[in-house]
Amino acid sequence: MILLVTGVTFLATLLIVMALAYGFSTASGPAVGRLTQLWNPVALQRPKRMRERQRERAEQVLGDLGKLLPDAKANQASRLQRLMIQAGYRRPESMLAFRGVKLLLTVGAVAAVYVTGYYRENRMALFFAVAIGFVLPDLWLNRAIRRRKHRLRLSLADALDLLVICVEAGLGLDQAIMRVAQELRIVHPELSEELRLVNLEMRVGKSRLDALRALSARTGVDDIKSLVAMLIQTERFGTSIAQSLRIHSDSLRTKRRQRAEEAAAKTPVKMVPVLVFFIFPALLVVILGPAIITLSRQLIPMMGG
């Protein structure tokens, strides 16, 4: 009976996690989506609407669960909101859904520990179950932030090249940012969305400096922060934007090359544990194994005699 209840609980938890992963995951890829849209644009609209409907329903259910938790303090709520924005989730319902996921995982983990009776053998099992329910969503959020920052960092070089071309062609900085956002909407959708938000903020009346500072705060990428600082200094001192962008683009490519060289230099150090714990024991067994067997066959009879 206990095994049956455990199996049912495990399958239910697995189905819930798979449904949440399907609801919050992105599409199969920008290239696949673009090719499908070019091949059959009408057939793409129906699954996309269904997927958005499923995501909205999942966010609504998780948001209702998140409302059951007590409201966080102002500093904790602002910190969570900043992290969610850096991960790409700007809607207010996303924060409630995140809290709902925490509550759901905590209740599921505690129920699994209680049903299996593992808490009788280990008194700290319930504590670990609660800790896992609260820590796993935070780990996922940090991983999503790192992945998004990495994509933004890789797409910044292409955006700077296009921005230099647009500015040198005679466009103003606002029009150049708008044009770059349009050109990058397929290849680099994250950076295109951020630049589009900058244009929208400037359209509603926010100054360019404030919009750029908001871009730096939303992304949290060091390269974007340095780009925003350079544009603000250029705006204040009245220097050439095209020349400043070209110099910054060259320095950014130098930083990327230095990061690649640093990663390549770390490779031998990262290979040491693998060599010591996995490769060398196998080599010792292959090389010294036959010699040990031969010596044991010759020495054991001599010691016995």
How many structural domains compose the chain? Answer: 2
How much is the pLDDT for 56?
Answer: 63
How much is the pLDDT for 290?
Answer: 84
Tell me, yes or no, whether 72 lies in a domain: yes
Tell me, yes or no, whether 108 lies in a domain: yes
> What 3-state class would DSSP assign to 69?
coil
0.95 exceeded by pTM: no
How much is the pLDDT for 44?
Answer: 43
- Please name the residue ranges forming H helices in the chain: 2-24, 30-39, 41-66, 74-87, 92-116, 118-121, 125-168, 173-183, 189-203, 208-219, 222-237, 241-274, 280-304
Q: How many CB atoms lie within 10 A of CB 281?
A: 11
| One domain for residues 116 and 181 | no
Residue 117 falls in which region: left (phi positive, over 0), alpha (psi -120 to 50) or beta = left
Cα distance between the two ends of the chain: 61
Tell me, yes or no, whether 213 lies in a domain: yes
How much is the pLDDT for 246?
Answer: 86
Taken in order 132, 138, 141, 143, is the CA torsion positive or negative?
negative
Closest CA to 179 of 188, 168, 166, 189: 166
| One domain for residues 166 and 253 | yes
Tell me, yes or no, whether 147 lies in a domain: no
Tell me, yes or no, whether 67 lies in a domain: yes
Closest CA to 184 of 168, 203, 198: 198
How much is the pLDDT for 24?
Answer: 53
Q: How many CB atoms lie within 10 A of CB 207?
A: 11
Tell me, yes or no, whether 289 lies in a domain: no
What string of pLDDT tens digits covers the 305 residues of the chain?
Answer: 556 656 666 676 777 666 656 555 544 455 555 555 544 544 444 445 556 666 666 666 666 666 656 665 556 667 788 888 888 888 777 777 877 788 778 878 778 777 777 667 777 777 777 778 788 888 888 999 999 998 998 888 888 888 888 888 888 888 888 899 998 888 888 889 999 999 888 888 888 888 888 888 888 888 888 888 888 888 888 778 888 888 888 888 888 888 888 888 888 888 888 888 888 888 888 888 888 888 888 777 776 55
CA atoms in the 13 A half-sphere facing the CB of 17: 15
| One domain for residues 119 and 189 | no
* Close Cβ partners of 44 (under 8 Å, ≥ 6 residues apart): 33, 36, 37
How much is the pLDDT for 45?
Answer: 46
| One domain for residues 59 and 110 | yes
How much is the pLDDT for 67?
Answer: 60
Per-residue exposure over 258-274, b if at least 16 CB sit within 10 Å of its own CB, e if not:
eeeeeeeeeeeeeeeee
| One domain for residues 168 and 218 | yes
How much is the pLDDT for 97?
Answer: 80
| One domain for residues 168 and 251 | yes
Tell me, yes or no, whether 91 lies in a domain: yes
Tell me, yes or no, whether 266 lies in a domain: no
Containing domain of residue 112, as a range? 2-123
| One domain for residues 193 and 87 | no
Domain CATH number, residue 158 = 1.20.81
How much is the pLDDT for 129?
Answer: 77
| One domain for residues 81 and 178 | no
Last-in-domain residue among 123, 141, 161: 123
231-238 contacts at long range (C-beta below 8 A, 24 or more positions apart)? 231/173, 235/208, 235/209
